[in-house]
Amino acid sequence: MKRSKEDLLNPFFKEIYPDWQKEIPELKTAFEEERFIKGEQLINEWGDLYLIVDGIFGKREKTCPVRYAIAGESLMIPNQRHSYQFTALSDCRTYRTSLRQLEEINAHNPKVFYLYANLKEKQQVYLDYRHKLLSIHNEDKYDFVFDKYPDILSHITQKELARFMGISIELLRRILREREY
């Protein structure tokens, strides 16, 4: 059964603003569906906001993996010069809008600011995940990563996962052998 645009957007907004469909109806029209095939990069325009409905994206700074974004999460493209690349690691379905569009809605419906501020706060939690990962003991990193991304190795190489975790490929292989992955 095909789900409506409102049904697909609702999980992103209902927690923050339960009555968003009634009180900010123009929000629905601000988001356009975009699909990506595995290996395709996001357009990467400053201030864009992607809501990931299906799939997984990788975020790299130059060649180093710094984040994975899965269905149910958002990706905010920084609103300034950056060296990030965002790549679909599987076929993906997203809804995209721009900061400019949200600002235009906010000009006549200031409830959008509250919603955007909360999405930005969630974005920071996603970004803090890797800082936390790098700060925990190497032996605890496996559970930390695989609790959040149980099938990550079907999308990336062991070498990339080791770089993301901040450990050597040899240590990752030993951990995987011990866990019989």
For residue 103, the model assigns a pLDDT of: 94
Is residue 177 domain-resident?
Answer: no
Q: Is residue 143 part of a domain?
A: no
Give how many domains the chain has, as a whole number. Answer: 1
CA atoms within 13 A on the CB side of 24: 28
Any idea what the CATH number is for the domain that residue 66 is in?
2.60.120.10
d(CA 142, CA 172): 8
pLDDT-derived band at 181 (thresholds 50, 70, 90) equals low
pLDDT top residue among 45 and 92? 92
Q: Residue 92 domain-assigned?
A: yes
Rounded mean pLDDT of 18-47? 93
Residue 157 placed within a domain: no
Q: How confident is the model at residue 80 (pLDDT cuts 50, 70, 90)?
A: confident
Look at residue 13 and tell me if it is in a domain. Answer: yes
Distance CA 156, CA 10 (A): 30
Residue 120, domain member (yes or no): no
pLDDT tens, 113-123? Answer: 999 999 999 99
Tell me which residue range forms the domain holding 15: 5-109
Q: Is residue 168 in some structural domain?
A: no
| Segments in 31-137 forming alpha helices (H) | 99-108, 111-135
159-174: pLDDT as tens digits: 999 999 999 999 999 9
In a domain, residue 60? The reply is yes
pLDDT at 84 over 60: yes
